[in-house]
Structure 1
Amino acid sequence: MAATELAAQGATVAVLGRDQTRGDTLAAEAARLDGEIRFHQADLATQATVRSLAAELLDTYDRIDALVHNAGLSSRRRSETEDGVELTFAVNHLAPYLLTHELLDRLRTSVPTRVVVTASDIHRRATLDFNDLQFTNDYDSLQAYARSKLATIAFTVELADRLDETEITANCFHPGFVPSTNLFRNARLWTRLMIRAVAIVPGIGTTQQEGAQRLCHLVTAPEFGERTGAYVTGDGITPPAPEATDPETRQQLWETSAHLVGVDPDWP
């Protein structure tokens, strides 16, 4: 929905996803809009695919005005990618981290530009336990998801600091609780039942359109061409959990992430 809204405003939107058929359908539906949607098939669970995707994007687009990280999942059972990383952490945090690394030079030559990351207020129930960051013990799907979102916010804040005094801003947002996305379709039964119960409570959930509007606002609103390192909710710019902004925690996560994807931790 966000891609359609941005294309309606005249943007060329590169959409990434696993399902080629759905992607082609989305691109075809956008033919009537002022802009364009182009679909790129990729499974962001594997680092080789993220790198291959980055190379494809660099070959296809001369500039990147906004890099939006919106992919996410919640895995019912603990599983590892072919890189040996817990799946939820790999897709929700490491993929944005690595893709940003691979595209950073193009972002620099496209300034002013923005990095926008989809987070979640569920991060407030998580901690970053660096002794067991990937839940090798006592895995819980909801906790793994919450931790991955805490990591995405810490990553965004750290990235903003590292890009200070450049013309690249980095911000993240909470799209709201959007039951219709089926994000937790693979979660444990009790989690799915809880989400269904909460979804019917008036005033709790948000629509896909509302979530998409928050994303588009960070991509297009003039203030976020200047403001960086912000966490945005339906109430506007909001302080995230203290752990997400703690400098030592952010640096440790950054260096751990660099090790897991095999890049120099001193970037950018």
Structure 2
Amino acid sequence: MTSSDSLTGRVALVTGGTSGLGAETARTLADRGASVAVVGRDRDRGETAAADLATRTDGTAEFYRADLASQASVRRLAAEFRERHDRLDVLVNNAGTFRAERTVTADGVESTFAINHLAPYLLTHSLLDLLVASPSARVVTVSSGIHTRATLDFANLQGERGYDGMTAYARSKLANVLFTDELADRLAETAVTATAVNPGFVPGTGLARDASLRNRLLLGAFARLPLPFTKGLEEGAETLIRAAADPDLADVTGVYLSDGEVTASSEESQDEEARRRLWDVSAGLVGVSPDWAV
């Protein structure tokens, strides 16, 4: 894409949009004229980000404070957005976490699974009618290449036994791909597309703020060194931007973008029975009907 691809008149919502890949994505969307709403936990950082976006776009810039670990907070976020908007053209489910130790949210769900998978699932559900109201909407969910290392064990989906932080993270990223494929199938008769993206290894995102000290130091070193397998924020965000705005992908749905290109996801992610079961289990965990997108 080039800077001539105008997004004037489009409305975008970016979770985790106050720092890292989300902030870079929000800035690029604003630079192309979109009205951009960013979601984050820190009010000062969020208001600063929104003020910067306002100087970049012909549209509007907004900040919504939300804790995506809380289902009630996700629902409030959706309700607040709905009060101000009658449609949504681009939803970027970018926010994520990596937890070295197993923690549980107020809803009783393991935190990595709750933030990385259930929050996008519930937020997309809560904003679905605004997406359908758009003449051409996109749901972009940030996964990772590490999803290829994961399998789903529905008897231990939340790591109740033998928790490992990397395994939990990889499982949540596999869930992102499965969610995207199932969403695409269920919305096939609408103008809403769904895409999962792998931005590559971007150590400067702040994702590992809850990781072990050793891993935080390691990622900090990766961020400073010119290593061939790492990416800066701008380069990493390019895949998100392509999924969110490239006109060549306007009618493409249910795909996995890695390094900007449509790529085959893992064999595990192709399991239709697993993705439907995950959809139903997720519906139960957030308290909605599993038929919500049919």
TM-score tier by shorter-chain length is over 0.9
1:60-75 matches, cutoff 5 A: 60-75=84-99
Inter-CA distance 196–257: structure 2 relative to 1 (3 Å threshold): same
Residue 234 (structure 1) aligns with:
259
Which secondary structure state, in structure 2, belongs to the residue aligned with residue 107 of structure 1? Answer: helix
Residue 12 (structure 1) aligns with:
35
* One-letter amino acid of the structure 2 residue matched with residue 266 of structure 1: D
1:135-154 matches, cutoff 5 A: 135-154=159-178
- Whole-Å Cα distance in 2 between the matches of residues 195 and 238 of structure 1? 26
Inter-CA distance 235–41: structure 2 relative to 1 (3 Å threshold): closer
* One-letter amino acid of the structure 1 residue matched with residue 104 of structure 2: E
Residue of structure 2 aligned with 1:28, choices 51, 56, 59: 51
Is the 1:123–1:146 contact (alpha carbons within 8 Å) kept by the matching residues of 2? yes
TM-score (norm 1): 0.96
- Whole-Å Cα distance in 1 between the matches of residues 236 and 44 of structure 2? 24
Which secondary structure state, in structure 2, belongs to the residue aligned with residue 185 of structure 1? Answer: helix
Query: Could you report, residue by residue, the CA deviation over 1:167-194 in whole angstroms, capped at 9, with x for unpaired residues?
Result: 1100011011111112112212443355
Give the CA deviation at 1:140. Answer: 1.1
- Whole-Å Cα distance in 2 between the matches of residues 235 and 30 of structure 1? 24
Aligned length: 268
User: Structure 1 residue 207 and structure 2 residue 232: aligned?
Assistant: yes
Q: What are the ranges of 5 or more consecutive residues in structure 1 without an aligned counterpart?
A: none
Which secondary structure state, in structure 2, belongs to the residue aligned with residue 38 of structure 1? Answer: strand
Supply the RMSD in Å over aligned alpha carbons.
1.5
* One-letter amino acid of the structure 1 residue matched with residue 27 of structure 2: T
- Whole-Å Cα distance in 2 between the matches of residues 167 and 13 of structure 1? 20
Give the CA deviation at 1:216. Answer: 1.2
1:76-87 matches, cutoff 5 A: 76-87=100-111
Residue 216 (structure 1) aligns with:
241
Is the 1:232–1:238 contact (alpha carbons within 8 Å) kept by the matching residues of 2? yes
- Whole-Å Cα distance in 2 between the matches of residues 133 and 125 of structure 1? 15
Which secondary structure state, in structure 1, belongs to the residue aligned with residue 210 of structure 2? Answer: coil
Which secondary structure state, in structure 2, belongs to the residue aligned with residue 122 of structure 1? Answer: helix
Residue of structure 2 aligned with 1:48, choices 72, 75, 79: 72
Percent identity, please: 51
